């Protein structure tokens, strides 16, 4: 594990940029509060995963090259998403395997951390809960669970909050049905999957859904809203910041 | 193959609308998943075991041509006659010739997915030969004129009540009963008579050992042993990737297979067939034939990435853990092999044009890879198939039907997307436009994707100010 760095890059992800900027800012604040000087390169955009998973590797590489360029220094790269993190850490080396940037992509991948992973493993944060008692439930994104393997870090942060009761889903390990373009290319399947996820969330009795991935939040949160459920969906960074301010 | 075009959207809609099917599947998959977890309860031990399984399968595939030759040689020495078939049609003809040579009309069958690939039953029935399935699940679906919906538990889509009704309706003089033991007894009675009358037995092969020329058959009901010992002739059909090098390769694979498939430490029966009846022996078939089917496997084998598809030992656990399979069942996929393994294998065998949709029916959640006992990189292969779908280039290892999806609109969309995301000022402009126009998206003409998204979800909450704009306001460093 690297020692606590002075500076760290923040990769905001395109979805947070467009739809959940407050979640992105919360992540930055959590890092700054721990004394990290956060750098947000303005040249950054998307990790390239949408094209990569849809059968367009050339286009994915074009966008990925832009990220390699935008994060040139040797600082850790922190990402408030397991999915985009997985792309940078596990798929960039494959995407550039037979390209001139192969070695660069390897080094880049080695600097990638998911936000909660960084907070726990590198910064060893200690939170004091300042909020009212609340019951929350947690959705594990598949990439955070199986690629980045950071779910225990995310949950350990929630467990630090003494007034927060975490009620786990019955099928926490099951995909919510987002899958990027899957959600529209296989809309019926995706809808069936998210409907089951929503039912699981509702049976917990929790008043809030948390996750570390905005793709899942857009999907599940959108489905909750679509059926006028009173349960909001929130990124874990935003929640952690609110509770501890 | 008898399948021509599969109407995936219609199939998927039909399956998703069938509440009974979804309940049956969910319950069954939960049970199978739990059994597997109980057996492989130590993750570290499982990782070690599957690393061995992976290594064994890799080694076998790395010398596949040599091992197949050795297998043929050893089998022949042992008295097993070996036949090679490039296509299902050739394999069917080989079986038919053997059956006709013995003037047989009654064939009894053990469970075999390769025989499903061949559509052997249908082929034989058209030629006046009865081919009776003797595995209980296979027997059930054969009674109902269905195909397997799962590669290990073929009748998993049916529940007890449905089977009770089926037996009552289809088996003469059968009173209605929902008692499992009674249902078993009914099937056993019917099948017992068929075993005695069977003139040729057909089985699959789980592993074929090149070193000894041994055909291994894994089963729970004893029907496999009956099919391979009671009739005077036994025909084993096998996909040519099922060969392993040494006898000692079998135990780890067997443990992985039974544990992954049904959560069993070992099955009730494990048959090792190394020769026909010898002169001094009192039982066993007088003839044993091995039919080795290619059906596109050699082409798959030629590509180092796609080759990993052939590591599969057909345990079916990827189906049991797949959130898509769990909601569709096997029939919706329209082909012999459903679920994650089917979605990588079928498009390679049948071509992307007809089966490429299967590669889009995945969220890349990775649940299949997590449990795969031989570490097949299923999501990487699915991704490769998506790439091939848009790739017109005629490279030697290109998948059949590659480039079938190429269309100007989609190519242009991705080119525009790439340009925007590689050009910061365009990206910033897009963010601003989406913030302004996002809520109006459903009212705009064109994008079907908005309609598809909002069929079950609210619109994404496009922000008035992007994160790029916020960090600038807050003075976060840009270096």
In A54-205, which ranges are E strands?
Answer: 77-79, 112-114, 134-139, 164-168
Enumerate the β-bridge partners of residue A79: A114
User: A52-92: per-residue pLDDT in tens?
Assistant: 999 999 999 999 999 999 999 999 999 999 999 999 999 99
User: B141-163: per-residue pLDDT in tens?
Assistant: 999 999 999 999 999 999 999 99
- Of A7, A52, A174, which is closest to B323 when you measure between CB atoms? A174
With bands split at pLDDT 50, 70 and 90, how would you rate the model's confidence at B396? Answer: confident
Residue B3 lies in a domain: no
Within this chain, do residues A208 and A133 fall inside the same structural domain, yes or no?
A: yes
Element housing B247 (H / E): none
Enumerate the β-bridge partners of residue B272: B216
Within this chain, do residues A158 and A116 fall inside the same structural domain, yes or no?
A: no
Strand ordering across the sheet containing A7-10: A37-39, A7-10, A77-79, A112-114
Rounded Cα distance between B359 and B347, Å, is 8
Averaged pLDDT, B231-259: 98
Q: What percent of chain A lies above the pLDDT cut of 90?
A: 98
Residue A153 lies in a domain: yes
Q: Is the dihedral of CA B111, B112, B113, B118 positive or negative?
A: negative
Interface test with A, best of B29, B47, B323 (most A CBs within 10 A): B323
Q: What pLDDT score does B393 carry?
A: 86
Q: Is A152 exposed, middle or buried (0-12, 13-18, 19+ CB in 10 A)?
A: middle
Q: Which residue of A has its CA nearest to B472?
A: A42
β-strand pairing of A37-39 with A233-235? unpaired
Across chain A, what does the average pLDDT equal?
97
Query: ipTM of this predicted complex?
Result: 0.96
Q: B288-320: buried (b, 16+ CB within 10 Å) or exposed (e) per residue?
A: bbbbbbbbbbebbbebeebbbbbbbbbbbbbbb
Within this chain, do residues A111 and A160 fall inside the same structural domain, yes or no?
A: no
Counting the structural domains of chain A, the total is: 2
Within this chain, do residues A74 and A155 fall inside the same structural domain, yes or no?
A: no
Within this chain, do residues A136 and A226 fall inside the same structural domain, yes or no?
A: yes
Q: Inform me whether the pLDDT recorded for B1 exceeds 60.
A: no
DSSP A122: I
Averaged pLDDT, A190-219: 98
Q: Which residue of A has its CA nearest to B479?
A: A41
Within this chain, do residues A144 and A102 fall inside the same structural domain, yes or no?
A: no
Q: Which of A71, A105, A121 is the last residue of a domain?
A: A121
Contact A40 B465 (CB under 8 A): no
Residue B145 lies in a domain: yes
Q: By the 8 A CB rule, do A175 and A83 touch?
A: no
For residue A165, give the 3-state DSSP assignment.
strand
Within this chain, do residues A137 and A52 fall inside the same structural domain, yes or no?
A: no
Within this chain, do residues A66 and A108 fall inside the same structural domain, yes or no?
A: yes
Q: What is the pTM of this model?
A: 0.96
Q: Is the pLDDT higher at B69 or at B2?
A: B69
Averaged pLDDT, A26-55: 97
Rounded Cα distance between A98 and A103, Å, is 10
Counting the structural domains of chain B, the total is: 2
Averaged pLDDT, A7-19: 97
Within this chain, do residues A46 and A136 fall inside the same structural domain, yes or no?
A: no
In A92-229, which ranges are E strands?
Answer: 112-114, 134-139, 164-168, 208-211
Within this chain, do residues A38 and A134 fall inside the same structural domain, yes or no?
A: no
Q: Which residues of B touch A178 (CB under 8 A)?
A: 363
Residue A74 lies in a domain: yes
Residue B420 lies in a domain: no
Residue A1 lies in a domain: no
Residue B112 lies in a domain: yes
Q: How many helices (H) and strands (E) does chain A have?
A: 14, 8
Q: What pLDDT score does B2 carry?
A: 43
B422 close contact with A: CB closer than 8 A: yes
The pair of structure tokens assigned to A123 is 């910064």
Interface list for B 377-416 with A (CB within 8 A)? 380, 383, 386-391, 405, 414-415
Q: Which residue of A has its CA nearest to B428?
A: A45
**Range(s) of the domain holding residue B444:** 425-474
Rounded Cα distance between B471 and B476, Å, is 5
Q: Inform me whether the pLDDT recorded for A1 exceeds 70.
A: no
Length of chain B as a residue count:
479
**Range(s) of the domain holding residue A138:** 127-244
Within this chain, do residues A86 and A30 fall inside the same structural domain, yes or no?
A: yes
The pair of structure tokens assigned to B401 is 């039907």
Q: What pLDDT score does A132 carry?
A: 97
CATH of the domain at B228: 3.40.50.10420
Q: Which of B239, B272, B298 is the last residue of a domain?
A: B298
Averaged pLDDT, B381-403: 94
Q: Which of B298, B329, B348 is the last residue of a domain?
A: B298
Averaged pLDDT, A137-162: 98
Q: What pLDDT score does B446 carry?
A: 63
Residue B449 lies in a domain: yes
Nearest to A118 by CA among A200, A4, A202: A4
Contact B431 A12 (CB under 8 A): no
Residue A180 lies in a domain: yes
Nearest to B176 by CA among B189, B160, B188: B160
Residue B128 lies in a domain: yes
- Of A183, A192, A222, which is closest to B16 when you measure between CB atoms? A192
Phi and psi torsions of B445, nearest 5°: -70, 160
Within this chain, do residues A45 and A61 fall inside the same structural domain, yes or no?
A: yes
Residue A108 lies in a domain: yes
Q: What pLDDT score does B445 carry?
A: 66
Residue B287 lies in a domain: yes
Contact B449 A225 (CB under 8 A): no
Q: What pLDDT score does B395 carry?
A: 86
Q: Which of B298, B325, B345 is the last residue of a domain?
A: B298
Nearest-neighbour CA in chain B from A162: distance (Å)? 31
Q: What pLDDT score does B134 carry?
A: 96
């Amino acid at each position: 594990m690297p020692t606590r760095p002075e500076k760290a890059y923040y990769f905001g992800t395109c979805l947070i940029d467009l739809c959940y900027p407050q979640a992105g800012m919360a992540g930055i604040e959590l890092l700054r509060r721990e004394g990290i000087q956060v750098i947000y390169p303005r040249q950054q955009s998307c990790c390239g995963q949408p094209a990569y998973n849809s059968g367009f590797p050339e286009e994915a590489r074009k966008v990925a090259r832009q990220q390699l360029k935008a994060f040139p220094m040797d600082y850790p790269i922190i990402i408030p998403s397991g999915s985009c993190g997985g792309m940078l850490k596990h798929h960039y080396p494959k995407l550039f395997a037979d390209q001139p940037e192969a070695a660069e992509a390897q080094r880049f991948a080695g600097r990638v951390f998911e936000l909660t992973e960084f907070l726990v493993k590198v910064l060893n944060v200690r939170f004091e809960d300042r909020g009212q008692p609340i019951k929350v439930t947690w959705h594990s994104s598949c990439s955070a669970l199986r690629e980045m393997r950071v779910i225990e870090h995310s949950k350990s942060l929630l467990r630090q909050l003494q007034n927060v009761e975490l009620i786990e889903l019955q099928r926490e390990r099951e995909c919510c049905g987002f899958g990027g373009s899957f959600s529209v290319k296989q809309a019926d399947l995706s809808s069936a999957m998210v409907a089951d996820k929503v039912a699981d969330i509702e049976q917990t009795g929790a008043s809030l859904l948390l996750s570390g991935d905005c793709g899942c939040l857009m999907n599940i949160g959108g489905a909750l809203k679509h059926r006028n459920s009173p349960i909001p969906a929130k990124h874990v960074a935003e929640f952690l910041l609110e509770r501890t301010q | 193959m008898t399948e021509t075009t599969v109407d995936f959207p219609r199939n998927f809609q039909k399956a998703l609308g069938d509440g009974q099917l979804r309940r049956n599947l969910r319950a069954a998959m939960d049970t199978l998943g739990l059994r597997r977890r109980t057996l492989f309860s130590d993750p570290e031990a499982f990782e070690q075991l599957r690393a061995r399984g992976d290594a064994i399968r890799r080694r076998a595939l790395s010398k596949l041509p040599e091992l197949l030759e050795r297998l043929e040689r050893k089998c022949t020495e042992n008295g097993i006659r070996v036949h090679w078939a490039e296509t299902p049609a050739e394999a069917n003809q080989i079986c038919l010739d053997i059956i006709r040579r013995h003037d047989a009309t009654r064939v009894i069958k053990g469970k075999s997915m390769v025989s499903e690939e061949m559509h052997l039953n249908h082929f034989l029935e058209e030629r006046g030969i009865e081919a009776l399935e003797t595995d209980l699940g296979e027997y059930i679906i054969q009674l109902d004129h269905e195909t397997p919906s799962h590669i290990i538990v073929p009748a998993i889509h049916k529940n007890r009540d449905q089977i009770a009704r089926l037996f009552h309706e289809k088996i003469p003089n059968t009173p209605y009963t929902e008692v499992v033991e009674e249902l078993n007894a009914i099937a056993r009675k019917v099948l017992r008579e068929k075993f005695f009358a069977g003139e040729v037995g057909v089985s699959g092969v789980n592993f074929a050992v090149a070193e000894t020329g041994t055909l291994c058959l894994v089963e729970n009901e004893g029907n496999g042993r009956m099919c391979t010992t009671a009739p005077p002739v036994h025909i084993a059909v096998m996909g040519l990737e099922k060969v392993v090098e040494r006898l000692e390769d079998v135990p780890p694979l067997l443990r992985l297979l039974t544990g992954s498939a049904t959560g069993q430490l070992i099955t009730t029966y494990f048959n090792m067939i190394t020769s026909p009846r010898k002169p001094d022996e009192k039982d066993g078939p007088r003839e044993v034939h091995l039919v080795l089917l290619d059906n596109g496997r050699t082409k798959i084998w030629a590509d180092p990435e796609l080759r990993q598809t052939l590591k599969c030992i057909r345990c079916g656990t990827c189906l049991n853990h797949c959130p898509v399979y769990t909601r569709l069942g096997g029939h919706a996929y329209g082909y012999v092999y459903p679920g994650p393994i089917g979605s990588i294998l079928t498009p390679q065998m049948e071509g992307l044009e007809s089966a490429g949709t299967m590669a889009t029916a995945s969220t890349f959640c990775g649940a299949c890879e997590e449990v795969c006992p031989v570490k097949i990189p299923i999501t990487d292969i699915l991704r490769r198939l998506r790439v091939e779908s848009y790739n017109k280039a005629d490279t030697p290892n290109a998948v059949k039907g590659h480039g079938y999806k190429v269309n100007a609109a989609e190519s242009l969309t991705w080119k525009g997307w790439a340009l925007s995301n590689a050009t910061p000022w365009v990206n910033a402009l897009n963010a601003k436009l989406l913030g302004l126009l996002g809520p109006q998206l459903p009212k705009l003409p064109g994008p079907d994707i908005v309609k598809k998204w909002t069929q079950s979800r609210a619109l994404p909450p496009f922000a008035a100010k992007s994160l790029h704009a916020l960090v600038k306001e807050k003075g976060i460093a840009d270096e």
